[in-house]
Amino acid sequence: MSDVTLDKAPVAPKEETPFRRFVSEFMASKIAVGGLLVFSIIVVVALLAPWIAPQNPYDLGQIDIMDGRLEPGEVGGSGITHWLGTDDQGRDMLSGIMYGLRISLTVGAGSALIACLVGASLGLLAAYAGGRTDTVIMRLVDLQLSFPTILAALMILAFLGKGIMNVVIALVIVEWAYYARTVRGSALVERRREYIEAAQCLALPTRRILFRHLLPNCLPPLIVVGTIQVARAIALEATLSFLGLGVPITEPSLGLLIANGYEYMLSGKYWISFYPGVALLVTIVSINLMGDHLRDVLNPRLKK
Amino acid sequence: MSRRFRGLSGEKIMAWKGVALALAGAIGLSAPATAQTLTMAVGAPVTSLDPHFHQLSPNNAVAAMVFDRLVNTDGQARQVPGLAESWSTVAPDTWEFKLRRGVRFHNGNEFTAEDVAFTFRRVPNVPNSPSSFAAFVRPIREVQVVDSHTIRLRTDGPYPLLPQDMTNVYILDRETHENATTEDFNAGRAAVGTGPFRVVSHRLGDRIEFERNDEYFGDKPHWQRVNYRMIVNDSARTAALLAGDVEFIDQVPTADLARLRRDDRLYMSEVTGLRIIYLSLDHPREEASPFVTDNNGQPLPRNPLRDLRVRRALSMAIDRQAIVDRVMEGAATPSGQFFPPGIFSYVPDLPAPRFDAEGARRLLAEAGFPQGFRITLHGPNDRYPNDGRIIQAIGQMWTRIGVRTAVEAQPWTTFVARAGRQEFSAFLIGWGSNPEGSHPLRNLIATFNRDRGWGASNRGRYSNPEVDALLIQALGTINDGEREQILIRAQRMALEDVAIIPLHIQTNIWAMRNHLRHDSRADELTRAQDVKPAR
């Protein structure tokens, strides 16, 4: 019953599973595959950063202020060639970007996952229970969405203080509402279908109906929103760090690296902001490319 | 005689000036159109036009344009006659100030001793003052108006610092300001002083328009009108100067220094200031200090920072010249004491501690920490130029001698509250000093004592009875030469005991278009009367 959205005639002639069909449809777009490829490379680089980065940019013992603001390609006092230059503290930009990507991806994926769990559960509950529960949850969502995201995140972080965990918490708080609203929308449609009625007639427990019957059928829009929210979360984390509210200064993420270099822009030391900016851009664009195409694949209305 | 004459014929002179200006305007079209107007931008907002409301450099700078003090200060923070022409002690506990004759307020009222007496009454009674000027008049027990231009101030026992205190008190007019509130000043109604400029219009936190006071008793400023803008964002201020929107800026961001120095459309004015950046250490705790642990993260049984060898090691491990060159872009001077040379009570032969990582490691081993320990260094990230960068650099240097350092930077308001509660083990902070050794000693080094008002900013709670005793002795010594020697001894004693770890003294930097010059000021005040055309 999880193939509701893919009820069209099969494209490929061979043995059909929904997943296989999904994969083949996704692979049909070169752009999406490109996005996936780039994103995979980024993930691998981020995962392997401690082994492949020229230095550990978070270890104050390994960086030297005398190597500060070296141009791309210069060799520092420790003998490392800084292919992307160094920042004002003498941090190798390449290593900084690799480690920064780790933070960005962890924060992005982590906050999106938790927000998705929380938001989707509440959305399902609202749609299924209806009545007062629905009203309370959805008004909460309205309230949440009426704040500008960045403002709400700033307030939460001002209250919680710095730290990666706090950034994740702040992002979850500002993002769960998107998931809740999405899931509720599709769940409202689904719950009037006959299979739910049938399940109810069988007197199945509510939890089972919610998570085994209703949720799987609401997944496609959730996946799309999730992908886009991961990209949004990464951008938001970068923004918060840029504003000095995210990560500690000795463990810069991409946003903080950009902020560090920002002051030197007028002095022509472009690389401190530029390369982390490029890394951030490429990451977000690759995720968005995948997300856009996922939406096309998963949306039955766009099918020919 | 001549002064009275000028007072009477003020209007006539104004009229002539008007004609002259009109002529200059008609003839002088070849000169820059703004010849008599100066547009300047400062980096910190002025919070009030009431000169007794908020002790803050930007407010004091504007006060020093509109008002005068009994004792003014020159660019090197030395005392020079202001509204008082001379001062001396007539008894050990009594100072006499001879006041300048023929001075008039902007509204024409004459300045007399009664105005001084009135000012001293008003200063402690400004409601809601966020940082009061009351401390500067508190030593005065009794004010005695001898005649219209002589005033005697009696203190509890000998008090040598009274002229220094008087450099902070701006004199108001009794008639005009008898019932003037801070709101009256902020509305512009009461912003009437004796100073070289009068306020024409203003919007707090945005801009102030000044006009020259042609009756001013001192050197007349060059500028007929001054447009005093506040541009808080560093890059925006620099950009405004580069674009020519403003002709003069203060607080030049160090990141832009190298580029601005190369730009031959610009001229820079610099002077070593009076603000020292230093590290404060946790002195009082005998047992574990909150942010010091052994290398496995376990609390140490005793506080290593109480050991002089450890403190010296931490000081020697810092390459001050590298911080000045690499982080401050040269806009500071490494220092081992509160003052730069040339300031009263500067300690001779006490240079900045030499950078010696090897020696630091040896000292640590001697003190029983051959493997070092771990520490967290705290600091603000929005208060001093490059504060967050400096603590990271020190984190590197300490880590290299085996003291593994974590660095935590916070917004100033949170930071300073926690530092004041002795929550940290080591932290970076700054201090803008009066040019007199007792000022930093009393506030940063003296044993904390609320009743005496000592150690108010001694957040590391250093305490040394010998230094305290010398300080008491100095504060009772009227003779400047003798007092200076005592203060030098007290400072040397505290600094050799590493009461604090001095890092550097900031350089005050102003940038202007090349057709201007500026008399720099150690006290950071940005005033229009110090700006002059080149040539």
Please check whether residue B164 is in contact with residue B79, taking contact to mean a CB–CB distance below 8 angstroms.
yes
Is B381 in the A-facing interface, judged by CB distances under 8 Å? yes
Residue A12 placed within a domain: no
Best B326, B400, B405 member to test A by mutation, with max A CBs in 10 Å, is: B326
Judged against a pLDDT cut of 90, whether residue B17 lies above it is answered with: no
Judged against a pLDDT cut of 50, whether residue B28 lies above it is answered with: no
pLDDT of residue B130: 85
Chain A hits for B255, Cβ within 8 Å: 263-264, 266-267
Give the span between the Cα atoms of B520 and A289, in whole angstroms: 57
Chain A hits for B410, Cβ within 8 Å: 162
Best B319, B387, B392, B504 member to test A by mutation, with max A CBs in 10 Å, is: B392
- How many residue pairs from chains A and B have C-beta atoms closer than 8 A? 64
pLDDT digits 0-9 by tens, B457-488: 999 999 999 999 999 999 999 999 999 999 99
Find how far residue B301's CA is from the centre of its chain.
Answer: 41
pLDDT digits 0-9 by tens, B378-390: 999 888 999 999 9
Is A89 in the B-facing interface, judged by CB distances under 8 Å? yes
Domain of residue A145, residue span: 85-299
- The chain A residue lying nearest B258, using CA atoms, is A267
Judged against a pLDDT cut of 90, whether residue B497 lies above it is answered with: yes
pLDDT of residue A82: 94
A145: helix, coil or strand? helix
CB atoms within 10 A of CB B320: 24
In angstroms, the separation between the Cα of residue A268 and the nearest Cα of chain B is 9
Residue A221 placed within a domain: yes
Residue A249 placed within a domain: yes
Is there a contact between B327 and A88 if contact means CB atoms under 8 Å apart?
Answer: yes
Residue A16 placed within a domain: no
- Residue from the list B238, B381, B399 with its beta carbon closest to the beta carbon of A266: B238
Is there a contact between B234 and A244 if contact means CB atoms under 8 Å apart?
Answer: no
Please check whether residue B504 is in contact with residue B221, taking contact to mean a CB–CB distance below 8 angstroms.
no
Judged against a pLDDT cut of 50, whether residue B191 lies above it is answered with: yes
Is A163 in the B-facing interface, judged by CB distances under 8 Å? no
Tokens of B490: 């007290």
- The chain A residue lying nearest B321, using CA atoms, is A66
pLDDT of residue B8: 38
Please check whether residue A21 is in contact with residue A11, taking contact to mean a CB–CB distance below 8 angstroms.
yes
Residue A134 placed within a domain: yes
- The chain A residue lying nearest B400, using CA atoms, is A61
Give the span between the Cα atoms of B152 and B169, in whole angstroms: 16
Is there a contact between A248 and B408 if contact means CB atoms under 8 Å apart?
Answer: yes
Is B259 in the A-facing interface, judged by CB distances under 8 Å? yes
- The chain A residue lying nearest B392, using CA atoms, is A250
Please check whether residue B49 is in contact with residue B32, taking contact to mean a CB–CB distance below 8 angstroms.
no
pLDDT digits 0-9 by tens, B308-336: 999 999 999 999 999 999 999 999 999 99
B51: helix, coil or strand? coil
Is there a contact between B255 and A89 if contact means CB atoms under 8 Å apart?
Answer: no
pLDDT of residue A246: 83
Show the CA angle centred on residue B378, arms to residues B374 and B381, nearest 5°.
Answer: 145
pLDDT of residue B533: 95
In angstroms, the separation between the Cα of residue B256 and the nearest Cα of chain A is 6
Is B253 in the A-facing interface, judged by CB distances under 8 Å? yes
The domain total for chain A is 1
Percent of chain B with pLDDT over 90: 83
pLDDT of residue B25: 43
Residue A45 placed within a domain: no
In angstroms, the separation between the Cα of residue A168 and the nearest Cα of chain B is 19
CB atoms within 10 A of CB B181: 15
Is there a contact between B392 and A250 if contact means CB atoms under 8 Å apart?
Answer: yes
Residue A224 placed within a domain: yes
Short-list B460, B466, B459, B453, CA closest to B494? B466
Is B452 in the A-facing interface, judged by CB distances under 8 Å? no
Is there a contact between B396 and A61 if contact means CB atoms under 8 Å apart?
Answer: yes
pLDDT of residue B73: 94
Is A65 in the B-facing interface, judged by CB distances under 8 Å? yes
In angstroms, the separation between the Cα of residue A262 and the nearest Cα of chain B is 10
pLDDT digits 0-9 by tens, B80-138: 999 999 999 999 999 999 999 999 999 999 999 999 999 999 999 999 888 889 989 99
Give the span between the Cα atoms of B394 and B317, in whole angstroms: 8
Is A12 in the B-facing interface, judged by CB distances under 8 Å? no
CATH number of the domain to which A153 belongs: 1.10.3720.10
Residue A30 placed within a domain: no
Is there a contact between A249 and B409 if contact means CB atoms under 8 Å apart?
Answer: yes
pLDDT of residue B235: 85
Give the span between the Cα atoms of B132 and B526, in whole angstroms: 21
pLDDT of residue A3: 47
How does pLDDT run along chain A (304 residues), one tens digit per residue? Answer: 444 444 454 454 556 677 888 888 888 889 999 999 999 999 999 999 999 999 999 999 899 999 988 999 999 888 889 999 999 999 999 999 999 999 999 999 999 999 999 999 999 999 988 899 999 999 999 999 998 989 999 999 988 888 889 999 999 999 999 999 999 999 999 888 888 889 888 888 888 888 888 888 888 889 889 998 999 999 999 999 998 888 888 889 999 999 988 888 877 889 999 999 999 999 999 999 998 888 888 876 665 4
In angstroms, the separation between the Cα of residue B381 and the nearest Cα of chain A is 9
Tell me: ipTM over 0.85: no
pLDDT digits 0-9 by tens, B135-188: 899 999 999 999 999 999 999 999 999 999 999 999 999 999 999 999 999 998
B249: helix, coil or strand? strand
Is A63 in the B-facing interface, judged by CB distances under 8 Å? yes
Best B262, B391, B396 member to test A by mutation, with max A CBs in 10 Å, is: B396
Is there a contact between A250 and B395 if contact means CB atoms under 8 Å apart?
Answer: yes
Is there a contact between B407 and A250 if contact means CB atoms under 8 Å apart?
Answer: yes
